[in-house]
Amino acid sequence: MFASLSDRLTATFRTLRGKGRLTEADIDGTVAEIRRALLDADVALPVVTTFTDRIRARAVGAEVSGALNPGQQVVKIVHEELVEILGGSARPLSFAKSGPTVIMLAGLQGAGKTTFAGKLAHHLKSQGHTPILVAADLQRPNAVTQLEVVGERAGVPVYAPERGVTRDDERSKGDPVKVAKNAIKEAVKRQHSVVIVDTAGRLGVDAELMKQAGDIRKAVDPDEVLFVIDSMIGQDAVATAQAFQQGVAMTGVVLTKLDGDARGGAALSVREITGVPILFASTGEKLDEFEVFHPERMASRILDMGDILTLIEQAEQKFDQVEAARMADKMAKGEDFTLTDFLSQMQQLKNMGSMKKMLTMLPGMGQAREQIENLDERELTRTEAIIQSMTPYERDNPKALNGSRRLRIASGSGTTVAQINSLVKRFEDAQRMMKAMAGGGGMPAMPGMGG
Ligand code: GDP
């Protein structure tokens, strides 16, 4: 996410490090470098100009404060201005005061609407809402089936009275406006609190598409119209966003595919050009690769200042609190840390999603990106297989693991005795660490992450 932009900006700031005073030439040089980095990241020209003008004005006038050196002050200004173009503060979803909340999704074909529909439904469901998905994309082949699959994964019902275009039948049948309208009645009857309407997109902006989206908007009177845009579309982002603003007057923006090696220009342009806030970001194909958009956190990520808040939130969501309490209790009582506990901890780590993605949220990790890329997640899977091949007795009494037991476990888990030995060694290290924690109190620093 924003990897190259992030690298360029941090490299620029590095040249300012250690300077006691910034000359006008320093500032000019920095601003020119920021400008090039943004243009290379496909940020729209008017946005780049506004942004760099503000930076220059503030940097020239910046007082040298006691706490920050001039270089740090420039970083602070850039951070604040980035937050500003990303929208200032996070804007939460608006809900209807009475009756179901209607959320309509619009955007080009392939932008990620259907995928996002599932993620949003899943997110809202986890917050106690009772959403229903509506299949009003009757144009893209198999869009209706895809929404049904997504709905099933999210555990959310799908209203799909029409099949739309399918692989076997290329004519669109059924009227999406009618589908959307009837969906609202259905939602009221079935007492759903949120209705998410997936609509059709085209490969490019066209009049017919806009008219249909506009008609659906009129028919369902949505509380939110979310414009879904692929962050990778580069300079087309501006024209597309403007067309949708005229056509459907969206109330919010959803950025998708931020996980790709996106240059990120769309993200930085759309809000500034349209004035419409970014509400959500999509960072992968899986259901939970979804984030509420926080301008301040995104700016920190772009500047490689890390996004600790998102990291903590994701960890909290995915960490099994009951299991954590059980471990703490065990340690307090001075009970032995066993291989079963070790496995459970490893599984928790796995649940926390892609470790790579999480690690890149740590401050300063931009520079360690290469090592992170090489992190072997298969290692976790292998550990799991090994421990699962042990008997409960062995898991509780690792000392009993003699040569013949190790041989049996290796063949049972499709690994080698050397791999078992290495796992046992890592386990013993962890066990020692747990002992030290139980004795000394407090968490030790995570290895390799600094203190
Ligand atoms: P729609 O035509 O707007 O409904 O787009 P889809 O939801 O069908 O998405 C188009 C393609 O992009 C599919 O292959 C999705 O799996 C993929 N996709 C959607 N969102 C993301 C995302 O955030 N990251 C990545 N990498 N792929 C995505």
Q: Please indicate if the annotation marks 50 as binding a ligand.
A: no
Please state, rounded to an integer, the average pLDDT across all residues of the chain.
Answer: 84
In this structure, are residues 141 and 170 in contact, taking their beta carbons and an 8 Å threshold? yes
Fold of 322-440: 434 Repressor (Amino-terminal Domain) (1.10.260)
Sorted by where each begins, the domain ranges of the chain are: 3-85, 101-305, 322-440
Cα–Cα distance for residue pair 27/70, rounded to 1 Å = 10
Q: Give the ligand 1 atom nearest the CA of 143.
A: 4
User: What CA–CA distances, in Å, run from 264 to 268, 281, 291, 314, 400?
Assistant: 7, 12, 16, 22, 54
Strand partners, 228: 254
Neighbouring C-alpha atoms within 13 Å toward the C-beta of 70: 19
Average pLDDT rounded to a whole number, residues 253-263: 84
Give me the sign of the Cα torsion angle 62, 67, 70, 74: negative
The DSSP element (H or E) to which 70 belongs, if any, is: helix 70-85
What pLDDT is attached to residue 351? 61
Q: Given pLDDT bands bounded at 50, 70 and 90, which one contains residue 134?
A: very high
Ligand 1 pocket, residues with Cβ under 6 angstroms: 107, 109-115, 140, 201, 256-257, 259-260, 282-285
Residue nearest to atom 26 of ligand 1 (CA): 284
CA of 63 relative to ligand 1 center, distance in Å: 47
Strand partners, 252: 226
CA of 121 relative to ligand 1 center, distance in Å: 16
Cα–Cα distance for residue pair 291/119, rounded to 1 Å = 9
Are 3-85 and 101-305 the same fold in CATH? no
What pLDDT is attached to residue 90? 92
Which CATH number is 3-85 given?
1.20.120.140
Q: Name the residue of 285, 290, 291 to mutate for ligand 1: max ligand atoms within 8 A of Cβ.
A: 285
Best CA proximity match to 362, nearest among 292, 423, 410, 315: 315
Which CATH number is 101-305 given?
3.40.50.300
What pLDDT is attached to residue 115? 96
Cα–Cα distance for residue pair 310/260, rounded to 1 Å = 19
Residue nearest to atom 16 of ligand 1 (CA): 285
Is residue 318 pLDDT above 80, yes or no?
A: no
Is residue 358 pLDDT above 60, yes or no?
A: yes
Is residue 124 pLDDT above 50, yes or no?
A: yes
Q: What is the pTM of this model?
A: 0.73
Best CA proximity match to 111, nearest among 260, 277, 223: 260
Q: Given pLDDT bands bounded at 50, 70 and 90, which one contains residue 308?
A: low
Is residue 391 pLDDT above 50, yes or no?
A: yes
CA of 369 relative to ligand 1 center, distance in Å: 25
State yes or no: ipTM above 0.95. yes
Is residue 128 pLDDT above 50, yes or no?
A: yes
CA of 202 relative to ligand 1 center, distance in Å: 14
CA of 98 relative to ligand 1 center, distance in Å: 32
Cα–Cα distance for residue pair 302/33, rounded to 1 Å = 15
Cα–Cα distance for residue pair 401/412, rounded to 1 Å = 14
pLDDT tens, residue by residue, 233-248: 888 889 999 999 999 9
Give me the sign of the Cα torsion angle 431, 432, 437, 440: positive
Q: Given pLDDT bands bounded at 50, 70 and 90, which one contains residue 141?
A: confident
In this structure, are residues 78 and 33 in contact, taking their beta carbons and an 8 Å threshold? no
Residue nearest to atom 20 of ligand 1 (CA): 112
Q: Where are the alpha helices (DSSP H) in 190-336?
A: 207-220, 236-248, 265-274, 295-302, 308-318, 321-332
Average pLDDT rounded to a whole number, residues 382-403: 91
What pLDDT is attached to residue 378? 75
Q: Give the ligand 1 atom nearest the CA of 146.
A: 8
Q: Given pLDDT bands bounded at 50, 70 and 90, which one contains residue 329?
A: confident
Is residue 341 pLDDT above 50, yes or no?
A: yes
Beta strand pairing call for 290-292 and 278-282: antiparallel
Q: Please indicate if the annotation marks 110 as binding a ligand.
A: yes
Average pLDDT rounded to a whole number, residues 277-303: 91
Q: Give the ligand 1 atom nearest the CA of 198.
A: 4
Q: Give the ligand 1 atom nearest the CA of 260.
A: 26
Cα–Cα distance for residue pair 186/192, rounded to 1 Å = 9
